[in-house]
Amino acid sequence: MNQPELWATVTAIKRRVVDTIGLTLPHAFRSTQAYQAYAGICGEAQMAYADGELTEEIIRLLNGQADKVMALWQKDFAQAP
């Protein structure tokens, strides 16, 4: 895949997360290790894309962490006010 295709995949993963957990997140959720790791990998992906160095490995890591974040949200936070 070329850089634009890889970035489109990153965008799709991020959109899937937002569709699941929303945009307004409680502090307790944003403070979880899973969410912090997800945010860090999102930042890494953005910097790698800006440098023309986005790889399928970064996407694999992002996708795996996105799955963990969505599972945590559904397990522990989806019903929280």
Domain ranges of the chain: 3-17+25-77
0.75 exceeded by the pTM? yes
Q: Does residue 58 carry a pLDDT above 80?
A: yes
78 pLDDT band, cuts 50/70/90, is: confident
Q: In the chain, count of helices (H) and strands (E)?
A: 4, 0
Angle between helices 56-72 and 33-50 (to 10 degrees): 150
d(CA 6, CA 71): 24
Tell me which residue of 6, 12, 14 sits closest to 70, measured CA to CA.
Answer: 14
- Compute the chain's Rg from CA coordinates: 13
